[in-house]
């Protein structure tokens, strides 16, 4: 008799669970949302908005947590992405800046052919994205510098120092080949709001 009562209660609880809508289930236990459901719920944002004149596009990014917001950082003061990537993304207190090259934001073409002017333009592009995210160069905690020729390190370093007079971020510099001809340097960055 006891087993029969337990079986009836189990069937009733399964029936009640099935009758809940997806929205009701999500509202009752928001921490159990899957990444796919959350992205679907917030995928209506328009990624073609001009950020300088419209509100930023945000998208919830969760994997078991509801407190991580992914915000796409876009500015016309840095070159538009030439592929499927974002200029920058803010997640929590961190801003991740994609590798920037020495491209003029207005023309989309590389600046002069010397490493000093290319480094200056590249850092200006990083700075524009960081500032669009309401941070400053002082908030950068990590940078990676990619040089076409390791022999250009001293020239690049002199320009780099002018952007970080005190307390520079951590940095790694590596020699790399670039797909785009004439490019001598690219730099990516991670910043954190303290």
Q: Indicate the domain borders of the chain.
A: 47-192
177 CB neighbour count, 10 Å cutoff? 7
What is residue 16's predicted lDDT score, i.e. its pLDDT? Answer: 41
Output the pTM of the full model.
0.67
What is residue 165's predicted lDDT score, i.e. its pLDDT? Answer: 87
What is residue 66's predicted lDDT score, i.e. its pLDDT? Answer: 57
> pLDDT digit string (tens) for 108-165?
999 989 999 999 999 999 999 999 999 999 999 999 999 999 999 999 999 999 999 8
Report angle CA 183, 87, 144 to the nearest 5 degrees: 55
What is residue 65's predicted lDDT score, i.e. its pLDDT? Answer: 57
Nearest to 143 by CA among 116, 176, 170, 120: 170
CATH assignment of 47-192, given 3.30.1330.40, 1.10.10.10, 3.40.30.10, 3.10.20.520? Answer: 3.30.1330.40
Which residues does 116 contact at the CB level (< 8 Å), separation at least 6? 155, 156, 158, 159
- HEC string of the chain equals CHHHHHHHHHHHHHHHHHHCCHHHHHHHCHHHCCHHHHHHHCCCCCCCCCCCCCCCCEEECCCCCCCCEEEEECCCCCCCCCCCCCCEEEECCEEEEEEECCECCCCCCECCCCHHHHHHHHHHHHHHHHHHCCCCHHHEEEEEEEECCHHHHHHHHHHHHHHCCCCCCEEEEEECCCCCCCCCEEEEEEEECC
Q: Which residues pair with 97 in a beta bridge?
A: 88, 189
Please state whether beta strands 185-192 and 94-100 pair in parallel, antiparallel, or not at all (unpaired).
Answer: antiparallel
Place of tokens 């998208």: 59
Distance CA 74, CA 72 (A): 6
Distance of CA 165 to the CA centre of its chain: 26
**How would you write the pLDDT of the chain (194 residues) with one tens digit per residue?**
444 444 444 444 444 433 333 333 334 434 443 443 333 333 333 343 333 333 444 333 333 355 678 899 999 999 999 899 999 999 989 999 999 999 999 999 999 899 999 999 999 999 999 999 999 999 999 999 999 999 999 999 999 999 998 999 999 999 999 988 999 999 999 999 98
């Amino acid at each position: 008799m006891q087993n029969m009562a337990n079986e009836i209660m189990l069937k009733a609880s399964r029936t009640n669970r099935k009758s809940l809508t997806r929205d009701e289930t999500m509202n009752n236990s928001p921490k159990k949302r899957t990444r796919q459901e959350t992205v679907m719920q917030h995928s209506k944002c328009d990624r073609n908005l001009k950020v300088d004149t419209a509100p930023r596009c945000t998208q919830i990014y969760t994997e078991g947590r509801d407190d991580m917001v992914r915000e796409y950082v876009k500015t016309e003061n840095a070159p538009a992405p030439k592929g499927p990537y974002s200029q920058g993304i803010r997640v929590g207190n961190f801003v991740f800046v994609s590798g920037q090259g020495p491209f003029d934001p207005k023309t989309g073409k590389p600046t002069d052919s010397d490493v000093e002017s290319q480094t200056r333009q590249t850092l200006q592009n990083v700075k524009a994205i960081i500032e669009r995210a309401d941070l400053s160069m002082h908030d950068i905690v990590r940078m990676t510098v990619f040089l076409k020729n390791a022999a250009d390190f001293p020239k690049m370093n002199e320009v780099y120092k002018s952007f970080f007079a005190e307390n520079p971020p951590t940095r790694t510099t590596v020699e790399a080949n670039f797909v785009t001809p004439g490019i001598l340097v690219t730099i990516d960055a991670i910043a954190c709001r303290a």
